[in-house]
Chain A
Amino acid sequence: MVEIRCEDLWKIYGSGIIALRGVSFALVDEPLVILAGPNGSGKTTLVRIIDGEISPSRGFVSINGLSLDDARARGLFGVMPQEAMLHEYLSVREYLYYLALIRGLNRYEAKREVSRVIDDFMLQDYASTRIEHLSGGLKRRVLLAQAFLGSPEILLLDEPTVGLDPEMRVKLWDVVMRYARERGSMIILVTHYIDEVRDIASRVLLLYRGQLVFNGEPRELLSKVGYKYRVQVRLREPRAPETPPLRLHHRSGDVVEFYVVDDGELVRLLNYLAGIGDWVLEFNVDRPSLEESYLELIKSLESGGGGQRL
């Protein structure tokens, strides 16, 4: 079992900036947690407190009941910080090897683990290259690979896909999913590409101005957007044949968008479209994205509406 407990976390930096304001939550055996929020909302500060890099001004974090000052607690982590320079005069293999030893593996295990993460993150061609000679994207891959050394029980990945090419992003999600599935690791992911992982995420934590404003399953966040389906209809001519059966719709030229709140309403709309079939050139049904739901929630918070302040 993996349990992360954060209790009333506050972080006030020396400059007076309040990065976190009383954040509390508990994560127990969550395979993949998305930590989202606008820039400056406190995500990276929260990650750095959880992984023991910095201390909170108030409150505490425990990992499986252990304080973060306990090296055993830090031994549970694999962390990819948002920004960190590498020891660039080392080759990729050397760097990963020394970090594997620091992680607590013996020489044999370290060599095996290094080969595995080099394969996982497609670094084979660069294994003997000094890090200083790698491109920015490849350095990010090395930074990412080191987090996976030693199969950690908790992976904290702070914007891991920034600077990665699309192929590597797909590969990364593959590796992340495999970890979550096969090794039972808990993965906490800070990302702006939340829809890329919506299907594998078990929980979403949303920070806004240092406060935790949402803590729930992705489907709960999706419900915040206020509709279940969005149906886009392109008409042959930019005029409605008759009044559409839905209150929530938006018209722009020959395109009408319907916001459908449940399955029954979708059936009614499809029947309606069947009835005016001659007018319909094409239509498309999709679901709202997590990103839209997230933006909707942020918008309501900015306009003074309540989030689920926790």
Chain B
Amino acid sequence: MVNVYRVYAISMIYALWVLRNKLFYLYLTILFPFTILVPFLIIAPARLEPFIAVGTVILTLIYCFSTASQDLAVDRLLKRIAILLTKPVTPLEYFLGILLSNAMQTLPATAVVTAVLWVTGLIRIANTALLLLGLIAGWYVLTIMGYITTLALLSRDYHTIIIVSNSIAFILTFVAPVYYPLELLPEQLRILAYLVPTTHIANIIGKACNVEYGVPLAITCIYLPTIVSILTAITLKSLKLKDIY
């Protein structure tokens, strides 16, 4: 049984830090994606502009990955988790709390970024339902990946966790075909690109905005439900709050 109040309380404890630091929130979730967008638009050929716009949306979503991994790492570093560990929190409730917290932190920023891109004509939304599906899939997959990354690194120190999670965030953003179509990747890297979740999240959001990444939709339709199921199963099976120590 999941206690809804408990999930809500866990999410608020984590989300309020970011939501209350408005300048930090604005920078990380909105200004930061645009600071990458602008130089890319200047130096990239015009045909890549729609990809850069979709990439900006994905970069905002990648914030989910970073917060999910770093919240846990900071909790461990500051021993804040000790308070939660001694309360009757189940691993599922904790995980749902983190998910909800990330939704509160990231989805409003993603909505703002998408709206700005739409108003400025950088993206054209052709299928709103598909766009929403892409955003929600992105939020879920990236949050759970951040969570698993930290769980896998729990025996390491805080700095190692941060370095590894930032490196993965870099791969998710720039190595996967997010800011450019698949065809621009060297042949041998394309297979690897299919394994990276952001490739498929970009593909769905791209399809919703008439941006063609060159990734078959059928592969994405198989990949995303599979990765969601595998990551959820790993999390629920492996997560014990005690492990955070």
Binding site for B on A (CB under 8 A): 48, 51-55, 69, 71-72, 74-75, 77-79, 81, 83-87, 89-90, 94-95, 97-99, 101-107, 110, 143, 146, 156
Complex Cα spacing A86 to B75, Å: 10
Complex Cα spacing A78 to B88, Å: 10
Given that A54-B242, A89-B20, A90-B13 are contacting pairs, would A71 and B83 also be in contact in the complex, using a CB cutoff of 8 Å?
no
Decide if B89 is an interface residue (CB 8 Å cutoff): yes
Decide if B159 is an interface residue (CB 8 Å cutoff): no
Stretch at the interface among B2-10, B106-114, B139-147, B230-238: B2-10
Number of interface residues of B (CB under 8 A): 27
Residues of the A chain whose Cβ atoms lie less than 8 Å from the Cβ of B78: 84-85
Residues of the B chain whose Cβ atoms lie less than 8 Å from the Cβ of A105: 5
Decide if B16 is an interface residue (CB 8 Å cutoff): yes
Decide if B120 is an interface residue (CB 8 Å cutoff): no
Decide if B12 is an interface residue (CB 8 Å cutoff): yes
Contact between chains at A101 and B6 (CB < 8 Å): yes
Contact between chains at A89 and B17 (CB < 8 Å): yes
Contact between chains at B242 and A55 (CB < 8 Å): yes
> A-facing mask of B1-43, CB < 8 A → 1, else 0?
0010110111011001100110000000000000000000000
Given that A101-B9, A102-B10 are contacting pairs, would A81 and B242 also be in contact in the complex, using a CB cutoff of 8 Å?
no
Residues of the A chain whose Cβ atoms lie less than 8 Å from the Cβ of B84: 102
Contact between chains at A86 and B80 (CB < 8 Å): yes
Decide if B87 is an interface residue (CB 8 Å cutoff): yes
Contact between chains at B79 and A85 (CB < 8 Å): yes
- Smallest CB gap from A71: residue in B: B88
- Smallest CB gap from A81: residue in B: B82
A-B contact pairs, 24 of them (CB 8 A): A53-B82, A53-B242, A74-B87, A74-B89, A75-B87, A77-B86, A78-B86, A79-B82, A81-B83, A83-B79, A86-B80, A87-B17, A94-B16, A95-B13, A98-B13, A99-B87, A101-B6, A101-B8, A101-B9, A102-B6, A104-B5, A107-B5, A146-B83, A156-B86
Complex Cα spacing A270 to B85, Å: 57
Decide if B90 is an interface residue (CB 8 Å cutoff): yes
Decide if B245 is an interface residue (CB 8 Å cutoff): yes
Contact between chains at B80 and A79 (CB < 8 Å): no
Contact between chains at A102 and B242 (CB < 8 Å): no
Contact between chains at A90 and B16 (CB < 8 Å): yes
Complex Cα spacing A55 to B86, Å: 13
> B80 CB to closest chain A CB, in angstroms?
5
- Smallest CB gap from A100: residue in B: B9
> B23 CB to closest chain A CB, in angstroms?
14
Complex Cα spacing A52 to B13, Å: 21
Complex Cα spacing A218 to B57, Å: 66
Which of A77, A87, A90, A94 counts the most B-chain CB atoms under 10 A from its CB?
A: A87
> A141 CB to closest chain B CB, in angstroms?
14
Residues of the A chain whose Cβ atoms lie less than 8 Å from the Cβ of B12: 98
Residues of the A chain whose Cβ atoms lie less than 8 Å from the Cβ of B88: 71-72, 74-75, 103-104
Given that A54-B245, A90-B13 are contacting pairs, would A84 and B83 also be in contact in the complex, using a CB cutoff of 8 Å?
yes
Complex Cα spacing A89 to B240, Å: 26
> A103 CB to closest chain B CB, in angstroms?
5
Which of B9, B16, B20, B242 counts the most A-chain CB atoms under 10 A from its CB?
A: B9
Contact between chains at B20 and A53 (CB < 8 Å): no
Contact between chains at A104 and B6 (CB < 8 Å): yes
Residues of the A chain whose Cβ atoms lie less than 8 Å from the Cβ of B10: 98, 102
Contact between chains at B242 and A84 (CB < 8 Å): no
